[in-house]
Amino acid sequence: MGVEQASNRSVSWPVVMPVPVRDDLRALEGYHSPQVDVRVRLNTNESPVEPPAAWCDAVAAELSTVQWRRYPDRAATALRDQIGALHGVSGAQVFVANGSNEVLQTLLLTYAGPGRTVATFEPTYQLHGHIARLTGASVVETDRADDFTLDLAAALAAVAQRRPRVTFLCSPNNPTGLVEPAENVHALLSEVSEVPGLLVVDEAYGQFAGWSAQTLLSDDVPLAITRTFSKTWSMAGARLGYLVGPTWLVTELDKVVLPYHLDAVKQIAGRLALRFVDDMESRVDGIVAERHRIAAAFDALPVEHFPSGANFVLFRPLTSTGLTGRQVWQGLLDRSVLIRDCSGWPRLTDCLRVTVGTSDENDQFIAALQEVFS
d(CA 290, CA 361): 10
Give 173's Cβ-side CA count (13 Å radius). 21
What pLDDT sits at residue 8?
Answer: 58
Q: Which residues contact 253 (CB under 8 A, 6 or more apart)?
A: 95, 106, 107, 110, 243
- Write the DSSP assignment of 193-234 as a string of letters: HTTT-EEEEE-TTGGGSS--GGGG--TTS-EEEEEESSSTTS
Using the predicted structure, report yes or no on whether residue 209 has a pLDDT greater than 70.
Answer: yes
pLDDT tens digits for range 158-168: 999 999 999 99
Using the predicted structure, report yes or no on whether residue 3 has a pLDDT greater than 60.
Answer: no
Q: What is the mean pLDDT of residues 272-295?
A: 97
Residue predicted with more confidence, 13 or 87: 87
pTM greater than 0.85: yes
Q: What is the mean pLDDT of residues 239-259?
A: 98
Sort 236 into a burial class: Cβ within 10 Å, 0-12 / 13-18 / 19+: middle
Q: What are phi and psi of 77, to 5 degrees?
A: -60, -50
Domains and CATH numbers, the chain: 40-49+278-373 (3.90.1150.10), 53-275 (3.40.640.10)
Q: In a 3-state reduction of DSSP, which class is residue 65?
A: coil
Sort 25 into a burial class: Cβ within 10 Å, 0-12 / 13-18 / 19+: exposed
Helices 277-299 + 359-373 axis angle, to 10: 20
What pLDDT sits at residue 28?
Answer: 64
